[in-house]
Amino acid sequence: MNEIRPFRIEIPQADVDDLRRRLTGVRWPVEVAGTGWERGVPLPYLKELVEYWRDGFDWRAAEAELNAYPQFVTTVDGQDVHFLHVRSANPDALPLLLLHGWPSSVVEFLDLIPLLTNEFHLVVPSLPGFGFSPLSGPGWGNLFRVAGAMAEVMTRLGYERFATQAGDVGAGVAGLLAMLHPDRVVGTHTNGPAPYPFGPPVELDGLSDAEQVRARRFNEFREDGIGYLALQATRPQTLAYALADSPVEQLAWIAEKFREWTDPAADLPEDAVGRDRLLTDVSIYWFTGTGATAAHVVYEGMQAFRQFMESAGDQPQELPTPPPGAVAVFAADTSIRHLVDPMGAVVRWTEFDRGGHFAALEAPDLLAADVKEFFAALG
């Protein structure tokens, strides 16, 4: 049961042809005149992007780029876990677990991998319910369980000690890995942490100019930007029908987030992340049907988080000392240090003037340098 099996992405041509057929016969909705991104993805923009997906995007080229890296699957607790395993030429390199978030996949790290392979052995999983780790059943929204599975993957690869880098959902997994296995996790590097979106607005008094910009962005997000989260956190199955049946809906669902969460200087998603990278990510969700299962993972994760927060104060426990942590804050992030790190536990806090939620795609040079400097300083 501990077997690690070679894996290669091979989407059947019938599935590629079916996607093109669906992108040709779209039943477009009406759009209210004079409206724009404030109501969602504008119709003219999406029509153009769909046309490029159908006629300009080369899935086979994207598939070949992914297949250039060694890939494997192993089964943990009944769940198949897919991962890239890119060994450094340096046999003494530090193992580094790279964990993606939503709405992302292993594609998020394609431009980061070449920048890190001198210093690290890289393990890049598809989280359960995402991409090429199709969901085996309920319960994988529980990030404690996911963290346990990631630790087991590293054990099977022979990595008793390792580091982590992550954002979004992956950052939650990385944090729990550090909590559950402080003896194994050398350090944790995360990007983009923010206050809980269902919490109160951030007060501006006493904040620096840069923090006020992030606070206003967070306050706007919690007022106008969490519709996607509310839907996935409460009615994932209703949403699943649209995501499983319509590639246009899957594209709009993800493209909207790439537009809202990337570098504020970028007007359109492709101004921050190239169209081919965006469409590779969307295509993986489409071909694997994991737009729907990722929504269920979010639902379970939100339920588990609420239960955890409600019970956190009931039985206080003394937690082990966590390994060192670093945070990288990019231009689109809403992170304010005293809210994210009230106890001053973060040993390295770096702020950048470009990039956003998809830091590994938007600013891989900045992220790679920060990761290397942090772990080098740890010895």
**How far is it, in rounded angstroms, from Cα 37 to Cα 81?**
36
- Residue among 301, 360, 354, 365 at smallest CA distance from 105: 360
Q: What is residue 108's DSSP assignment?
A: G
Question: Residue 225 in contact with residue 261, Cβ under 8 Å?
Answer: no
Instruction: Please give the order of strands across the beta sheet that includes 79-86.
Output: 4-7, 71-76, 79-86, 120-125, 94-99, 162-167, 185-191, 325-329, 346-351
Contacts of 378 (CB under 8 A, 6+ apart): 186, 187, 324
Distance CA 70, CA 62 (A): 15
Instruction: Give the pLDDT of residue 77.
Output: 96
CB atoms within 10 A of CB 24: 11
pLDDT of residue 198: 72
Put simply, whether the predicted model's pTM sits higher than 0.85 gets the answer yes
What is the structure's pLDDT at 272?
96
Give the number of C-alpha atoms closer than 13 A to the C-alpha of residue 127, restricted to the C-beta side.
Answer: 37
How far is the C-alpha of 230 from the C-alpha of 77, rounded, in Å? 29
Cα distance between residue 295 and residue 297, in whole Å: 5
CA 373 to chain centre: 22
Give the other-Cβ count within 10 Å of 27's Cβ: 6
**Nearest residue to 98 via CA among 190, 222, 8, 31:** 190
Cα distance between residue 92 and residue 329, in whole Å: 29
Please give the helix or strand (H or E) that residue 347 lies within, else none: strand 346-351
Number of other residues whose CB lies within 10 A of the CB of residue 15? 14
pLDDT, averaged in runs of 10, over the chain (379 residues): 93 98 96 92 97 98 98 98 98 98 97 98 98 96 96 98 97 95 97 79 92 92 88 94 97 96 95 97 98 94 72 61 94 92 93 96 98 95
For residues 150 and 33, what is the distance between their CA atoms, to the nearest angstrom?
A: 48
pLDDT of residue 310: 63
Burial of 312 (0-12, 13-18, 19+ CB in 10 A): exposed
Distance, in Å, from the CA atom of 182 to the CA atom of 300, rounded to the nearest integer, reads 25
C-alpha 16/C-alpha 150 separation (Å) is 31
| Whether domain 4-311+320-377 has CATH 3.40.190.10 | no
> How long a stretch of residues is the chain?
379
Domain limits, the chain: 4-311+320-377
